[in-house]
């Protein structure tokens, strides 16, 4: 199962809207073949592990093999396993896809194949959280990221924010951008920093780029902004308040313009997240600014937090990492679950799960 999990990690984020799955075929106590899910429309992990033509053995797979359903473009993995004469299948997790859940296991057992469920479940669940949330709720998995001082400032009072954290922290953020489906910022951040919002792990522009999503309800972003000329796709979420001429100009850059309803001072984020999920976006790396992160927290949309903290203090009227109305009592503050703390050069990375959603128990 560890070999199957490693294969799945190797394609994380490369298979959306399908899950990133790994498989390992064992015969006579040794791994004879491995496979991982191909990009959307290609063979699944089980099929790739069974291409050698040999028959029999035990197949370890990180997610329940898929079953037939209307509109399916590839052979169901349960059928491929049966045809290959596999004698035993070890499954880490049952599938969260309603058209598959428990049906894949049922087909295998009906064919006389021994099936075990649960080995590696915790690791597979952590790896597949974006996929599981998407299939269970119809919404993307949102990771809130910010780089701040110890007193929670992401920029000085004058707006300067480069660079609060060091190179190691910035590299880690680019590694995250490299696998997620979308990077999201507000127009304030886009105007202040003119970011490219590309994934550049190791200082090199990655071949695959996440969708760049900018929230701009009033139509302030210029068509000449750097992010419109970078590799990859851009989506600008706006409202009826933005002028038609501006929307035409933004669309002229090749970006997609999506109009959302207003929700208080900002855009209706629930509506936007639903639209992104329908486009196959499973994971979102939300980089701010503070107003956007505040709205995401207040709307209950944040599933995970990555807080990069520098050993420095700004004080004064510096910009807060998370804005919005906030809470009135300390006891009501958002708290992280399953927290980890990691040193990155001089900085600290504090991570943890947030919000009410957790994967359904197997």
Positions annotated as catalytic residues are 46
Question: What are the structure tokens assigned to 252, written together?
Answer: 């002229």
In the chain, the largest separation of any two C-alpha atoms, in whole Å, equals 69
Measured CA angle at 239 (ends 261, 296), to 5 deg: 60
Residue 24, helix vs strand vs coil: strand
Residue 265 phi, psi dihedral angles, 5° rounding? -85, -10
Which residues on adjacent β-strands are paired with residue 31?
A: 26
Q: How many CB atoms lie within 10 A of CB 321?
A: 25
Q: Quick check: 219 and 249 in contact, CB under 8 A?
A: no
Nearest to 178 by CA among 170, 167, 186: 170
Q: Quick check: 308 and 348 in contact, CB under 8 A?
A: yes
Nearest to 131 by CA among 97, 106, 85: 97
Residue 192, helix vs strand vs coil: helix
């Amino acid at each position: 199962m560890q070999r199957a999990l490693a294969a799945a990690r190797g394609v994380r984020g490369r298979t959306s809207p399908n899950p990133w799955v790994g498989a390992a075929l064992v015969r006579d106590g040794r791994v004879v073949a491995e496979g991982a899910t191909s990009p959307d429309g290609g063979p699944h992990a089980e099929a790739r592990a069974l291409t050698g033509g040999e028959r029999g053995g035990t197949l370890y797979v990180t997610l329940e093999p898929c079953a037939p359903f209307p509109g399916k473009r590839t052979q169901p993995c349960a059928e491929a396993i049966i045809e290959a004469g596999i004698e035993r299948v070890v499954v880490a997790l049952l599938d969260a896809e309603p058209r598959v859940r428990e049906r894949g296991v049922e087909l295998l057992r009906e064919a006389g194949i021994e099936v075990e469920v649960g080995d590696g479940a915790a690791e597979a669940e952590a790896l597949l959280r974006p996929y599981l949330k998407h299939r269970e709720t119809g919404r993307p998995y949102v990771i809130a990221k910010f780089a701040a001082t110890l007193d929670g400032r992401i920029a000085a009072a004058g707006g300067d924010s480069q660079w609060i954290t060091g190179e190691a922290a910035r590299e880690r953020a680019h590694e995250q951008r490299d696998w997620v489906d979308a990077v999201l910022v507000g127009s304030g951040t886009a105007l202040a920093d003119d970011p490219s919002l590309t994934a550049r792990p190791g200082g090199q522009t990655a071949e695959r780029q996440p969708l760049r999503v900018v929230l701009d309800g009033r139509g302030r972003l210029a068509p000449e902004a750097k992010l419109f000329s970078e590799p990859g796709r851009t989506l600008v979420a706006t409202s009826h308040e933005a002028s038609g001429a501006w929307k035409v100009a933004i669309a002229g850059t090749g970006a997609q313009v999506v109009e959302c309803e207003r929700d208080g001072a900002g855009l209706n984020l629930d509506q936007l997240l639903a639209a992104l999920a329908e486009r196959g976006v499973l994971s979102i790396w939300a980089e701010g600014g503070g107003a956007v992160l505040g709205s995401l927290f207040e709307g209950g949309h944040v599933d995970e937090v990555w807080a990069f903290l520098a050993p420095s203090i700004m004080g004064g009227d510096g910009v807060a990492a998370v804005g919005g109305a906030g809470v009135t009592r300390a006891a009501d503050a958002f708290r992280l679950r399953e927290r980890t703390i990691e040193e990155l050069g001089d900085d600290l990375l504090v991570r943890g799960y947030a919000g009410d959603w957790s994967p359904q128990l197997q």
